[in-house]
Structure 1
Amino acid sequence: MQGKQDGTLRRSPTVTLASLARELGVNVSTVSRALSERPTGVSAATVATVRRAAEQRGYRRNLAARTLRTGRSFTVGMTVARLTDVALASVYGGVDEASIHAGYTTFVANTLDRADLRRRRLDLMLGRQVDGFVLADSHLDGAAIGQLDDLRVPHVLALRGLPGRLSVTTDDLVGGRLVAEHLLGLGHRRIGVVAGDVLASTGEQRTRGFLDTLDEAGVDVPQHRVVPGLFDVRSGVESAAQILATDPDVTAIFATSDAAAIGVMATLRDLGRRIPEDVAVVGYNNLDLAEALPVPLTSVDSRLFDVGTQAMRTLLELIGGGSPGSLSLEPRLVVRASTVP
């Protein structure tokens, strides 16, 4: 905007590809290629000159024109159970970074792990003509996926996977096994499990990998010591209290998320139990806060940001007509003071 002599404002002339081309003395197609995400057929010097001029003149892409030209909206939808969940926020961070590099915008919606809300949020984003979806809230029943199959909308599952579905996950069976091997190596035999959401592949597989490994070692974990719930602090508090009420001699507790592990630690504190001298605690996801806790938390690094980045790249390949395969990233156990003093 510029000021007139009478004090009113007038809008600055709109900067277009054509006006930039005239100013620089090049073809409009040269300017267009130089401003694309992956410039081809243009020298690096020309790209730098065009982009510098575009920035100085305040050029903005005409997204509506690009949509008409390509048939794409250059937006993707992402569903999560709760974006307040730091683990899911980390996955979203990876999705968003990859989308920025590709010139896409991401819409993210909370579904609270409710089937009815999931359908409504998908319908809302479909109404915005998104090019595809990253789904980070899938349940083992696969209820939401059929809707996208019927409409032939490209989609990729992230973090939570389903058999036969295109997904980017962490190998949670291996992650559970790593925790079991660690606790067995420390001599623990009376162990409790805060299993998380057993309708999500993450909760089911982390628990199964853990229990199968203990079973192979001849260590029995009775059902009353395996308590399902959610992946949050409150579930950790309540589940740990339930485990310790039925079996106060437990020497270790595995929680299938760091948030739940923090709840476990709170319960142990309130009961006067020391960590790890009385009860060892292991979490899952290796959030940044795990290392900063008063007793640093041993946790499985599930590479959340990488899961998001790879999920978005996989979706873009699918949107572009490719045939990508599922990815299962390798987890690693990060040992801290909550299991080893």
Structure 2
Amino acid sequence: MERTTAGDHTVTLKDLASELGIHPSTVSRILHSGSAVARGAASVATAERVRELARKRGYSPDPQAAGLRTRRTRLMGVIVPRLSDLVLAIMYEGIDEAAAELGYSTFVMNSRDDPEEQRRKTDTMLARRVDGLIIGDAHLDNGLLRELTARKVPFVLMNRRVPGYPSATCNDVLGGELVADHLWSKGHRNVAVIAGEPYASTAVDRTAGFVDRWRSLGGKIPRKAVVWSRFDTAGGREAAENILTHCNPHPTALFAVNDFAAIGCMGALRSRGLAVGGDVAVVGFNDTSLAAALPIPLSSVRSPMLDIGRTAVQLLKRVLDGEIVEPVRLEPILCVRESSD
């Protein structure tokens, strides 16, 4: 029976099941299975009751997770939404390089930006007794970080920040400001933003940086001209279609908070017979390798992706050494190309 010591009492699955009045196998499926299996094991309300009691009682699926605080495995766990995302893949390359230089190994798991998967993958990492975690999928409104702090699990955030926790990120606010300054200098006054996912600091900060700077320059951005979307090309295309449908006259410039959304946006413009860089300027963010290689090269804010990954490792090592670590924001650079020049 899997168990966790909480004070002088050993908490088991059976204890949790007894207190909740449900079968131990149901508790086990909820706590230890993937999202689909867990959803089929019980109602959403029951699953939440089980997880809440497990957290309250300090239950962990592997008793050796306590070794995270007492023994070193020289292993760092990394959680990202999708390693297929080019930006995150480059950051992980930086993580792996910097970790090897310090004598650590790493392994990475995908959460698909699903809070249930985030929690399950975190538990899996702890069960493998990693020395610490690099979390690249943090949501602004998520209690998982508070729980990890209460359990004294060493971790740092990467790419996305959450106030109060150590993180290695791009200065996303500054990146948004750079785009606003550029488009204003080009004479644009009617602009819109493809803002990304509202739970991600990258989206929120880049959008806020742009909008606040635009308004400080004397510009106006109506609410319907800021559209939240997925970070992929389909999300960017859908958001651009929304903007072009509801904003009349259509904007002369669009800022998408990542390159893939910007590429989707460019497709929406072409489908309406609008010339990218002529009728409508487009600017993305991250400056992935695709940006300069497009038929119409994409202006983009260059995020120091490799260095963000390396910095995350350096911060985690300092946390493991007992230091109090402040967030680090690395500087972006605007790369102007044909899509907005």
Q: Which TM class, normalised by the smaller chain length?
A: 0.7 to 0.9
Partner of 1:318: 319
Aligned AA (2:268): T
- Secondary structure at 2:168 match in 1: strand
Gaps in structure 2 of 5+ consecutive residues: 1-66
Alpha-carbon offset, residue 198 of structure 1:
1.4
Within a 5 Å distance, the mapping from 1:47-196 to structure 2 comes to 71-196=71-196
CA offsets 1:120-151 (integer angstroms, 9 cap, x no match): 00001100000001111111113221221122
Structure 2 equivalent of residue 327 of structure 1 = 328
CA distance in 2, matches of 1:186, 1:215: 16
Q: Return the letter of the residue paired with 1:163.
A: P
Q: Distance in 1 between matches of 2:121 and 2:283?
A: 34
Unaligned runs of 5+ in 1: 1-66
* Alpha-carbon distance in structure 2 between the residues aligned to 1:158 and 1:307: 7
- The one-letter amino acid paired with 1:106 is T
Structure 2 contact 300–335 (Cα < 8 Å) conserved? yes
Per the TM alignment, residue 249 of structure 1 is displaced from its structure 2 partner at its CA by: 2.4
Q: Which amino acid aligns with 2:137?
A: D
Deviation of the 1:318 alpha carbon: 1.4
Structure (1 or 2) with the larger CA radius of gyration = 1
Aligned residues: 272
Give the fraction of aligned pairs with identical amino acids, expressed as a percent.
Answer: 44
Query: Which deviates more from structure 2 when the two are superposed, residues 315-324 or residues 330-339?
Result: 315-324
Normalised TM-score (structure 2): 0.77
**Which residue does the alignment assign to 1:254?**
255
**Cα distance in 1 for residues equivalent to 2:251 and 2:323:** 51
Partners of 1:115 and 1:143 within 8 A in 2: no
Give every structure 1 segment of 4 or more consecutive aligned residues whose post-TM-superposition deviation is greater than 6 Å: none
Shift of 1:275: 1.3
**Alpha-carbon distance in structure 2 between the residues aligned to 1:337 and 1:114:** 37
CA contact under 8 A between 1:119 and 1:144: conserved in structure 2? Answer: yes
Q: Is the 8 A contact 1:81 1:137 kept in 2?
A: yes
The separation in 1 between residues aligned to 2:246 and 2:307, in whole angstroms, is 39
- The letter of the residue matching 2:196 is G
Partners in 2 of 1:213 and 1:322 — Cα distance? 35
Equivalent residue, structure 2, for 1:23? none
CA contact (8 A) 2:243 2:250 kept: no
Q: Distance in 1 between matches of 2:99 and 2:156?
A: 14
Q: What is the RMSD computed on CA atoms of the aligned residues?
A: 1.4
Structure 1 position 323, deviation (Å): 3.0
Letter paired with 2:134: V
**Which amino acid letter does the alignment assign opposite residue 118 of structure 1?**
Q
Q: Which residue of 1 aligns with 2:267?
A: 266
Residue 317 of structure 1 aligns with an amino acid whose one-letter code is R
